[in-house]
Amino acid sequence: MKLKAGDVVILKSGGQAMTVAEVTDETVECIWLGEEGDLFREKLPASVLEVAHIDMSDEEDEHDEDEDSEENESEIESEDHHAKKTAEVA
């Protein structure tokens, strides 16, 4: 396995996805965000890492659901506004 800067990896034992920042003959320097948004950076032996397989389809589905939800809220707000204007005219 030949890693390069920009690859996304995880520990073979599991855990959080990390981005490869630098690769040397002996170590792989990885960076990742902690649960509270802290940035971590650590040099690890390549033997403990494997390439992470990230399924992007789930994130796209969530994004589509967010857009659908926002569109529905806009339509409801527009209908409410129209109803209020109609009541004011009457």
* Residue predicted with more confidence, 23 or 76: 23
Q: Are residues 47 and 69 in the same domain?
A: no
pLDDT single digits (tens) 21-60: 999 999 999 999 999 999 999 999 999 999 998 887 766 5
The strand pair at 39-44 and 49-51 is best described as unpaired
pTM of the entire predicted model: 0.60
Any domain includes 35: yes
Residue type, 60: E
What is the CB neighbour count within 10 angstroms for residue 28?
23
State the pLDDT confidence band at 18, using cuts at 50, 70 and 90. very high
Any domain includes 3: no
Q: Are residues 89 and 75 in the same domain?
A: yes
With b meaning 16 or more CB within 10 Å and e meaning fewer, what string describes 57-76?
eeeeeeeeeeeeeeeeeeee
Q: Are residues 13 and 45 in the same domain?
A: yes
Residue 14 belongs to what domain range?
8-51
Degrees, nearest 5: CA angle 15-57-32: 30
